[in-house]
Amino acid sequence: MERQGAGRRMPVLFVGHGSPMNAIEDNRWSCAFRGLAPLLPRPRAILAVSAHFVTEGSVLTGQERPETVHDFGGFPDALFRVRYPAPGAPELARRAAALVAGDGARVVDAWGLDHGTWSVLVHLFPAADVPVVQLSISAELDPAAHLALGRALAPLRDEGVLVMGSGNLVHDLRHAFDAWRRGDATTPAWAARFDADAAAALERGDARWLVEALGTPDGRRAHPTPEHYLPLLYAAGAAGADPVRFPITGFDMGSLSMRAALFG
C-alpha cells in the first residue's frame, strides 16, 4: 500500500546528513537513512532546509525541475554522477514564501537540490517522485528568528508537506578531519555533551535553550559556524509541542553527530 501524507498531519524531520559519500556508500549511516523511510507517511511534497543553502534573506527554489547541485570537491567521480531528479513544486514555494512573508522571502529560479537534501532523499524516496523545494538559511537572522520561521511553516504539515531540516547537531569539520587522519574515532566530551544537551532540550520543548545554545562554550566548540545547527531550529519550530524521538544516534569521524530527530 502506498504511504500517503495528504489528509493527515505530517511529522517533521531533522537529519544529520554527514558526508555526501553516504549517498553512494553502503554504510552505517546510509542504512540508517533507509531505516527512516518506513517511519514516514508518503508526503505530497517536501520542504527542505539544508545547511548548504545560505543566502542573504530567505530564498525558496521555484524550478519545475531543480538541478542536482554537487556543492563539494575532492570526492570520487561516482558521487558527481549522482542525479536526484525529483520535480520541484513552484506552488509550494509560493505558499511557503507567503507564510514567512514578514521575512521578505522570495522565490527564485536558481540553485536546486544540494547534497544536504539529496544525499538523504536518495535513501528515503529513491524513486525521486516526491516534489522538493529548498528553503535557504538567511545569514541575516539570529537563532530566535530561524525558530520563528519554522513555526510559521507549521501549517504546511496539514497540507501533506514534510518539513525536513538537514544539518548536523555537532559539526566541527576541522576537528573531525584531523581525527579521521589520525585514525582516532573517539568522541570528545564537548561533542557528546552538546549532542546530549540538545536532545534533552528537544525532549522537554525548551525553545530558550535551543536559541541560546550556539552562545555557550560547548555550542561554540560544536559549531564554529552555525549553518549545520540552524536547520534544527526550523524543524523544532514547525514541530511545536509534538513529542520527539531519535531514530538515528551516534557520531561519525569522532565528533560529527549524526542524530536524527523525528517529531510527531
Q: Write down all domains in the chain, each with its CATH number in brackets.
A: 12-263 (3.40.830.10)
φ, ψ of residue 4 to 5 degrees: the values are -135, 125
* Reported confidence tier of residue 72, pLDDT bands at 50, 70, 90: confident
pTM: 0.94
Q: Which pLDDT does position 202 carry in this prediction?
A: 98
Q: What is the pLDDT of residues 138-163, one digit of tens each?
A: 999 999 999 999 999 999 999 999 99
Closest CA to 40 of 7, 12, 1: 12
Angle between helices 230-239 and 143-152 (to 10 degrees): 40
Task: Reduce the secondary structure of 112-136 to three states and give it as a string.
Answer: EECHHHHHHHHHHCCCCCCCEEEEE
C-alpha 165, offset from chain centre: 3
Distance CA 36, CA 153 (A): 22
What residues contact residue 204 under an 8 Å CB cut-off, 6+ apart?
none
Extract the runs of DSSP E, i.e. beta strands, from the chain: 12-16, 45-55, 59-61, 67-68, 106-108, 112-113, 132-138, 161-167, 244-248, 251-252, 256-257, 260-263
Element (H, E) at 204: helix 189-204
Q: What is the pLDDT of residues 2-26, one digit of tens each?
A: 344 445 899 999 999 999 999 999 9
φ, ψ of residue 131 to 5 degrees: the values are -60, 145
